[in-house]
Amino acid sequence: MQTIDQALEKLRRSPFRSKFHLSAKDIAYIQGKGLDTIQAHAERFIAARLAPAVPANDGRQTPMRGHPVFLAQHACACCCRGCLEKWYRVPRGRPLTEDQQRRIVRLLMAWLRRELDAAGSDRT
């Protein structure tokens, strides 16, 4: 099992996954809501859109924009069951366990924090 740092490093080396970054609007949204609220949103999104054994519209259920968590899902390959299977060997056709959901949310939040940190250092 890989650590969050190992997963983020692997994602950083992917030409597709590494192109995702928070916009100024996303950063302002996160700062306005706070990370606790963003995490609550992530928990709800993962439970509703990714956790079912056969999610509705799988492969198309995560928009590319509209919420920072959606962007994080694409950046972290947690946007659909196909990506979860390819990147993390999470089999399709079975609901995600609560532990799997927690791990996904932790990965998304780590990516968001790194993006916020990078944006902060870009502004100084």
User: Residues 42-74: pLDDT tens digits?
Assistant: 999 999 999 999 998 998 989 998 999 999 999
The CB density around residue 17, as the number of other CB atoms within 10 Å, is 18
Q: Is pTM, for the whole model, over 0.85?
A: yes
What pLDDT, on the 0 to 100 scale, is given for residue 122?
60
pLDDT given for residue 124 in this prediction: 37
pLDDT tens, position by position, 80-118: 999 999 999 999 999 999 999 999 999 999 999 999 999
84, 92, 88: which is closest to 3 by C-alpha?
88
The mean per-residue pLDDT over the stretch 11-26 comes to 97
The whole-chain average pLDDT of the chain stands at 94
Mean pLDDT of 6-18: 97
